[in-house]
Amino acid sequence: MAESPLREPVLDAKSEVTCQLIDFQWKLGMAVSSDQCRSLKYPYVAVMLKVADHSGQVNSKSIEMTIPQFQNFYRQFKEIAAVIETV
Amino acid sequence: MAGELEGSKSLSGLLSGLAQDAFHGHPGITEELLHSQLYPEVPLEEFRPFLAKMRGILKSIASADMDFNQLEAFLTAQTKKQGGITCEQAAVISKFWKSHKTRIRESLVNQSRWDNGLRGLSWRVDGKSQSRHSAQIDTPVAIIELEFGKSGQDTVDLPCVVKHPESGSLHGDLGLWSLFMPGI
């Protein structure tokens, strides 16, 4: 049997995982000022995740992270990437 | 009565109360509370403008995120103003800002974050697996659980297992999404 190309596994409805990440967008922003604080100077990373459930319905979720939070986020994904290489 | 308003211990407490109310979102810090707790001997009609003045000064300092040079210049100017502050009061305010600046700034930044923040991240990597529809899913996968939450809400600690989200919808202010990422 020919080796199938990378495919999206069909998941059992009872499986615990129901969403698939289909897109990941990001932006690096700097909040300069706000009504509460004229001199805010707050850098942040905003991430937009698009996930599809098993029925194909797509939902978007956006998160905003401080730089230290993003660094932790990035570090965790690096760790995942390293582990997945060894499987 | 003016001497009562000059007491530094009370002023320090007043600034703490004002910060709790204006920046940290602590409920119940009313004018009446501050008056009765810190300046009970001062008539209310004298206390009110004093409170407003201190609140205004603290908000100006926080809004400009003043460094210590700016703070000194600002407070010196306030001492020279008509109806401004005394040198002793300036010293108390200066000491207060120096020790609370970081925390107040953190609260102000949080107040400007209206989108969901990332509260937690857990993950696992699955090797080969099977399911009812597919005999062999031989692509390694990473399953990631992200915990979202809005600023000001208490963080909820979740056990590090993949949970079944309820139709991927957000419940209340906390969302729980499990993501499935095919490995390369």
Looking at chain A, which residue has its C-alpha nearest residue B23?
Answer: A36
Whole-number Å distance between alpha carbons of B25 and B19:
9
Residues of A in contact with B163 (CB under 8 A): 16
Whether the pLDDT of residue B167 is over 60: the answer is no
- The pair of three-digit structure tokens given for residue B149, joined into one six-digit string: 């939450």
| Nearest residue, CB atoms, B175 vs list A18, A34, A61 | A61
Q: Which residues pair with residue B147 across a beta bridge?
A: B120, B176
What are the phi and psi torsion angles at B41 (to 5°)? -80, -15
Q: What is the pLDDT of residue B67?
A: 94
Mutate to test the interface with B, among A37, A53, A69, A70 (most CBs of B within 10 A): A37
Measured from the Cβ of residue B131, the count of other Cβ atoms closer than 10 Å reads 15
Helix or strand run (H / E) with residue B42: none
Q: How far is B129 from chain A (nearest CA, A)?
A: 10
Percent of chain B with pLDDT over 90: 50
Which has the higher per-residue pLDDT, B72 or B156? B72
Q: Residue B137's pLDDT band (boundaries 50, 70, 90)?
A: low
Measured from the Cβ of residue B134, the count of other Cβ atoms closer than 10 Å reads 14
Q: Could you tell me if A18 and B138 are in contact, meaning their C-beta atoms sit under 8 angstroms apart?
A: no
A47 in a domain, yes or no?
Answer: yes
User: Cβ B108–A49 below 8 Å, yes or no?
Assistant: no
pLDDT digits (tens, 9 = 90+) for A27-51: 999 999 999 899 999 999 999 988 8
Q: What is the pLDDT of residue B100?
A: 95
Q: Residue B153's pLDDT band (boundaries 50, 70, 90)?
A: low
Mean pLDDT of A4-18: 44
Mean pLDDT of B145-152: 77
Q: What is the pLDDT of residue B152?
A: 56
User: Cβ B108–A34 below 8 Å, yes or no?
Assistant: yes
Q: What is the pLDDT of residue B131?
A: 67
Average pLDDT, chain A: 80
ipTM: 0.72
Which has the higher per-residue pLDDT, B148 or B30? B30
Mutate to test the interface with B, among A1, A24, A61 (most CBs of B within 10 A): A61
Q: How far is B145 from chain A (nearest CA, A)?
A: 10
Task: Give the residue numbers spanning the domain of A54.
Answer: 19-86
Q: What is the pLDDT of residue A5?
A: 42
Q: Residue B151's pLDDT band (boundaries 50, 70, 90)?
A: low
For chain B, the helix, strand and coil percentages under 3-state DSSP, each to the nearest 5: 45, 15, 35
Size of interface A-B (CB pairs under 8 A): 130
Whether the pLDDT of residue A7 is over 70: the answer is no
Q: Could you tell me if B93 and B85 are in contact, meaning their C-beta atoms sit under 8 angstroms apart?
A: yes
Measured from the Cβ of residue B40, the count of other Cβ atoms closer than 10 Å reads 10
Counting the structural domains of chain A, the total is: 1
Q: Give the pairing of strands A58-66 and B116-126.
A: parallel
A54 in a domain, yes or no?
Answer: yes
Whether the pLDDT of residue B148 is over 70: the answer is yes
Which has the higher per-residue pLDDT, B183 or A80? A80
Measured from the Cβ of residue B43, the count of other Cβ atoms closer than 10 Å reads 11
A3 in a domain, yes or no?
Answer: no
Whether the pLDDT of residue B19 is over 90: the answer is yes
Residues of A in contact with B121 (CB under 8 A): 72-73, 76
A67 in a domain, yes or no?
Answer: yes
Q: What is the pLDDT of residue B31?
A: 93
Cα B12–B88–B44 angle (5° rounding)?
A: 60
| Nearest residue, CB atoms, A51 vs list B117, B140, B179 | B179
User: Cβ A62–B108 below 8 Å, yes or no?
Assistant: no
Q: What is the pLDDT of residue B166?
A: 33
CATH code at position A47:
3.10.450
Whether the pLDDT of residue B87 is over 50: the answer is yes
A7 in a domain, yes or no?
Answer: no
Average pLDDT, chain B: 79
